[in-house]
A and B are shown apart, each in its own frame.
Chain A
Amino acid sequence: MSAAEELYEVSLVVNGVPRSATVPARRLLSDFLRHDLELTGTHVGCEHGVCGACTVLVDGRPIRSCLQFAVTVDGAEVTTVEGCTRPDGELGHVQQAFRECHGLQCGFCTPGFVTTITAYLEENPAPTADQAREAIAGNLCRCTGYQNIVASVLRAAELRAERA
């Protein structure tokens, strides 16, 4: 393309805070969050939609941030793993469950699991073990073997119910 790439101002409400930056149209939402807004909690594994590490919530729904241009979702509300805490900044119910159940080892995949599970429990507050497994089927983890992540989903549901 030509040397002078056209730039767009993109404004999002990220974890409740209005943020904006001026970027080329080809800036992926994942890179917008990480590079332009310096929110490096969102991880990038495969950049073609397969691993799920980059999953964030856009208007409450989990999506792959590596498969969207920031400019496409201009104006949206975005929740990243940094926003999955309690209002006082303490660990949120999903994060707390991962800690208690040993749901992570290297932690690379964890941001994508935490966002995915947070949204899932809003719609399905009391999943069975089978449903918990299905809920995380779109995310890859190379360390844990998934058993402890399934346990974390079930524990997070309990914590969420207790805190409600």
Chain B
Amino acid sequence: MKPAGFAYHRPATVDDAVAVLAEVSPAGKVLAGGQSLVPLLNMRLAAPEHLVDINRLTELAYVRVDGDEVTVGALARHADVEHDDAAYAVLPLLRDTLEHVAHPTIRNRGTTVGSIAHADPAGELTAVLTLLGGTATLRSMRGERTVAAADFFTGPLTTCADADELVTSVTFPVPEGRTGAVWTEVARRHGDYAVCGTGVVVTLDDDLRVAGARSAYVSMGPEPAVLDLTDAVAGAMYDDADWAAAGRLAAGRLEPDDDIHATAAYRSHLAEVLTARAAGDAARRAAVA
């Protein structure tokens, strides 16, 4: 099918973009990579009156590493973030996760910020931003604000962004201390949306004992939530911790839904197994960090 008609705007600067958004609000939608929005337009599940195309805002096409954080501008494609060696050096979790986000052809166009602004409960980057305690920066004519991931995602496909706000960047902090981080997921086919996916960060103390473990999920609830798994494994040696117990703790706290792809019971089972596996791998990474 074809999209319904819309008024098209292609601002050349961020200032122009927020001015247009303010003018057409609340009838405007930002068009970034189009990899989530255009399918909705083609199927006529969405028919916004105004589209504000941000593909000319080259000032936002950046991936920046500042010591202990990686900031991604709104026009950086998934592929740009994935292939950024400086970002990989400080935060390998980004590349490791992006390899699971759709197929390379989709990643060539889709933006990392767009996938966070889209807030799909199956979108890996939403979980990673929440897991790391990251932030989103929003601009409008009213000013700029930076919002913690935990407050940014307010439900499935919904965020706290107002209709006149542009998400200009997101910032992923590098976890502190001796940490390892792993993303793992099960999908029908590599690159498809995951039936269940999890990212786990494990922190070790100087004696290589577990000091902390936390996890976040996709396809396991309406919005990304972080679970603290430390109680199940605190104080154990990194290679001797009861990660299965951490998996059980996680599965007990998640309340997935049934859908055409999987039953809730199968999802819970996957969460238990994948959490244990990812946590063990993360601990081994932390030990050699």
Query: Hey, which bits of chain A sit against chain B, CB under 8 A?
Result: 1-2, 5-6, 8, 24-26, 28, 31, 47-49, 52, 55, 61-64, 66-69, 71-72, 116, 134, 137-138
Q: What are 22 A-B contacts with C-beta separation under 8 Å?
A: A1-B6, A1-B7, A6-B7, A8-B8, A26-B8, A28-B2, A28-B3, A28-B38, A28-B42, A48-B43, A49-B106, A52-B103, A64-B106, A64-B109, A67-B42, A69-B34, A72-B31, A72-B34, A72-B53, A138-B105, A138-B106, A138-B191
Judge whether B26 is part of the interface by a CB distance below 8 angstroms. no
Chain B residues 25-55 with CB under 8 Å of chain A are: 31, 34-35, 38-39, 41-43, 49, 51, 53, 55
Q: List chain A residues, Cβ under 8 A from B105.
A: 52, 55, 62-64, 116, 138
Q: A63 and B42 in contact (CB under 8 A), knowing A8-B8, A26-B3, A47-B1?
A: no
Residues A48 and B39 in contact, CB atoms below 8 Å apart: yes
Judge whether B5 is part of the interface by a CB distance below 8 angstroms. yes
Query: Hey, which bits of chain B sit against chain A, CB under 8 A?
Result: 1-8, 10, 31, 34-35, 38-39, 41-43, 49, 51, 53, 55, 79, 102-106, 108-109, 189-191
Residues B42 and A47 in contact, CB atoms below 8 Å apart: yes
Q: Which of B4, B49, B106 contacts A26 (CB 8 A)?
A: B4
- The majority secondary structure among interface residues of chain A is mixed
Looking at B2, B5, B41, B51, the one whose CB has the most chain A CB atoms below 10 A away is B5
Residues B109 and A67 in contact, CB atoms below 8 Å apart: yes
Residues A63 and B109 in contact, CB atoms below 8 Å apart: yes
Q: List chain B residues, Cβ under 8 A from A69.
A: 8, 31, 34, 38, 53
* B16 → chain A closest CB, angstroms: 16
Q: List chain A residues, Cβ under 8 A from B109.
A: 63-64, 67-68
CA gap between A16 and B102 in the complex, in Å: 30
List 9 A-B pairs, minimum CB-CB distance, nearest first. Answer: A138-B103, A1-B5, A25-B8, A48-B39, A67-B38, A61-B108, A62-B105, A26-B3, A63-B109
Residues B6 and A63 in contact, CB atoms below 8 Å apart: no
CA gap between A94 and B79 in the complex, in Å: 24
Q: For residue B8, which residue of chain A has the nearest CB? A: A25
Q: For residue B5, which residue of chain A has the nearest CB? A: A1
Residues A67 and B190 in contact, CB atoms below 8 Å apart: no
Residues B104 and A26 in contact, CB atoms below 8 Å apart: no
* A84 → chain B closest CB, angstroms: 16
Residues B7 and A134 in contact, CB atoms below 8 Å apart: no
CA gap between A62 and B1 in the complex, in Å: 22
Residues A49 and B6 in contact, CB atoms below 8 Å apart: no
CA gap between A25 and B6 in the complex, in Å: 8
Q: A72 and B55 in contact (CB under 8 A), knowing A1-B6, A25-B8?
A: yes
* B163 → chain A closest CB, angstroms: 19
* A97 → chain B closest CB, angstroms: 20
CA gap between A72 and B191 in the complex, in Å: 25
Q: List chain B residues, Cβ under 8 A from A72.
A: 10, 31, 34, 53, 55
Q: List chain A residues, Cβ under 8 A from B108.
A: 61-63
Q: For residue A49, which residue of chain B has the nearest CB? A: B39
Q: List chain A residues, Cβ under 8 A from B3.
A: 26, 28
* B80 → chain A closest CB, angstroms: 11
Q: For residue A135, which residue of chain B has the nearest CB? A: B104
Q: List chain A residues, Cβ under 8 A from B103.
A: 52, 137-138
Residues B39 and A62 in contact, CB atoms below 8 Å apart: no
CA gap between A131 and B124 in the complex, in Å: 23
Q: A26 and B6 in contact (CB under 8 A), knowing A55-B105, A61-B108, A138-B104?
A: yes
Q: List chain A residues, Cβ under 8 A from B102.
A: 138
CA gap between A71 and B5 in the complex, in Å: 14
Q: List chain B residues, Cβ under 8 A from A48.
A: 38-39, 42-43
Q: For residue B40, which residue of chain A has the nearest CB? A: A48
Q: List chain B residues, Cβ under 8 A from A5.
A: 5
* A55 → chain B closest CB, angstroms: 6
Q: A67 and B1 in contact (CB under 8 A), knowing A116-B105, A134-B190?
A: no
Q: For residue B43, which residue of chain A has the nearest CB? A: A48
CA gap between A45 and B132 in the complex, in Å: 39
